[in-house]
Structure formats: structure tokens, C-alpha cells
Amino acid sequence: MFEGAFSGLGNFGASLVLAIPLMLAGLGIALAFRSGIFNIGAEGQLYLGAMAATYFGARYHDLPFIIHLPLALAASCAAGALWALIPGYLKVRRGFNEVITTILLNYIGVHFVNYAVNSFLKDPATYAPQSPPVAATARLPKLLPGTELNAGLFLGLLAAGILFVIIYKTDWGYQLRAVGSNPEAARTAGMNADRTLIGAMIVSGSLAGLAGAVQILGYQYILLQDFSPNTGYDAIAVALLGKLNPLGTVMAAIFFGALRNGANTMQILTGIPVTIVYVIQAIIILCVLGFTRLKLNFIRFSQPREVDF
């Protein structure tokens, strides 16, 4: 598995390619979780972002690169943000449970994209359920010759750096962490918790939508049915393993990307099924959560207690 993930520039580049969408979606989930709202809807937001990027990337062929690529990326962010705004609004204004609404919207989003590639977004030149290829002017530049590694990696690292500054160095980041820790105390202190939660969901959804865009504009170039199964759900594990820290999320995404790529090579060479990766991921997450729980218990019991006489 290690050899398949890191041996040579080709394998290392493939591991990073698989890590990029996990990185972007994981960063969005980490931000939402930090604010105290549980965005489980990255899967649907990712699919809607990919569809928007495909639509603008394949529809216009006469735009210059400097306009076409940013337009497709911006469309993906907007689509993901709008899809995340729905459960955010329902949570804040109507008190709906965001876990339930985001999961339901995942199904709607994925099936709507599958419908799109069979209808209005279908390539008329083929019978297969797929979109037309995106124009060359909407494709992310390659970073390593002979690999699919693209400039989406820079987008992920840039997003991580910006989120780190926002969360730990700005007033809004302080409010976000305060609302996530104790929303009632934050409201008492004069913070607008509702606006903070909706803002966190919008940013979270835009990053998930961008994760879908980098898959289409970075190396797939066409939108297919179920083009990225479970990436949005795996990004939840990435965010948790990164302890909701932007830098930790980047490292966790690279680790999970290496696991995925190494597992493919392992299956070819040894016959061990690639699904073993999901078992490894589950064990890692359980260990991280268990260690965190033990740490919290240790802190609680180590604090001096008041004795009543």
C-alpha cells in the first residue's frame, strides 16, 4: 500500500489528486463543525458544484482562460453555497435538525445531477449518460508532467491558509468558535449566532462545491453519473481526523488520498479488496475519538473538586 501511494512522482501525484477534493470538502466541514452546525451535506454540495462547473466549463468555448476558469470555479462555489444555505436557513429560522436536512439534500443533489447527465446536460454526441467535455480554457493547469496533479492543490492549500487566519486571527473567527462552544453564552455577549451559523454553512458549502469542480476541471473533464461516490462523506472523517483544524485537515486529506491510491495498487498486486481502506479509516476515526474522550475525562477528573462541610 505504501509503495503504491508514494513510490515515484506518478504515484505520489495520484495520491495528491485523490486528496484534493477531500481537502476542500474537509475544510468546509471543519469550519461548519467549529461553529456548532453539523454539515453532513458535503456530498450533495460537491455534486451540485461539479454540475455548475461542468455547465459553465462546457457551454462556453470562446472565453479566454483568465475569465473562463474563474467563472467555472465561482459557479461551483455558488452552487455549493446555495445548496448549503437551505439547511442552514431551516436550522436557524425553523429549528430543523441540520443532520436530517443535509442528508436528505444529499440524495436530492446526487440524483438531480444523475438526471442532468441523462437530460439537459447530456452530450448529444454519445449515447452514454455523460456531459460534453469542458473546454480547454476551463481546465486547471497540470503541475507534474505525466500525472493528473493539477492546480487544484494550490486551491486547497490556499483555502486552508485563509481559513486558518479567519478562524484564529479575526473577529468573525472568534465569534464562530464562541458560538460553536456555547451559543447561548455567545448570544448573551451580544454576538449574532444565527448570522454566524448561516455564514459558516455558506462558506462550508462553497468549499464542498469547489471540491466537485476540481475533480471535473482538474482531470475528469466530463460529468458522469455517480462520478465521486462517498467523497463528501469521507471528508467528514478527514475533518474529524484533522481535529477540525485547517492544517490538520490538509494532512488528514493527504493521508486518506494516499490510502485510496495505495489500496488500488494493493488490490492489483495482492488481490486484497480496496474496501479494506474503509475499515482502516473507521479504525483510525474510532481511535481518535476514543483518545479525545479519554483526554476530556482525564482533564475533568484531574480538576480539584469543592468539598462541602
- The CA–CA distances, whole Å, from 164 to 19, 150, 171, 174 equal 19, 23, 13, 12
Judge whether residue 47 has pLDDT over 60. Answer: yes
Q: For residues 28-44, give the mean pLDDT.
A: 95
Q: What is the mean pLDDT of the chain?
A: 90
CA distance 148 to 157: 17
| 85 occurs within a structural domain | yes
Q: For residues 85-108, give the mean pLDDT.
A: 96
| 169 occurs within a structural domain | yes
CA distance 245 to 237: 13
| 182 occurs within a structural domain | yes
In the chain, the number of structural domains is 1
Cell of residue 143, nine digits: 503541475
CA distance 137 to 235: 29
| Each residue's pLDDT tens digit, 161-184 | 999 999 999 999 999 999 998 888
| Each residue's pLDDT tens digit, 200-254 | 999 999 999 999 999 999 999 999 999 988 899 999 999 999 999 999 999 999 9
Least confident of 55-69, 227-241, 282-296: 282-296
| 21 occurs within a structural domain | yes
pLDDT at 249: 97
Range of the domain at 201: 17-245
| 111 occurs within a structural domain | yes
| Per-position b or e across 142-156, b if 16+ CB within 10 A of its CB | ebbeebbbbbbbebb
Helix axis angle, 152-169 relative to 193-215, nearest 10°? 170
CA distance 31 to 205: 10
Percent of the chain with pLDDT strictly greater than 90: 69
| 205 occurs within a structural domain | yes
| 204 occurs within a structural domain | yes
Judge whether residue 305 has pLDDT over 70. Answer: no
| 40 occurs within a structural domain | yes
Environment class of 127 (CB within 10 Å of its CB; exposed 0-12, middle 13-18, buried 19+): exposed
pLDDT at 299: 60
Q: Which residue has the higher pLDDT, 194 or 296?
A: 194
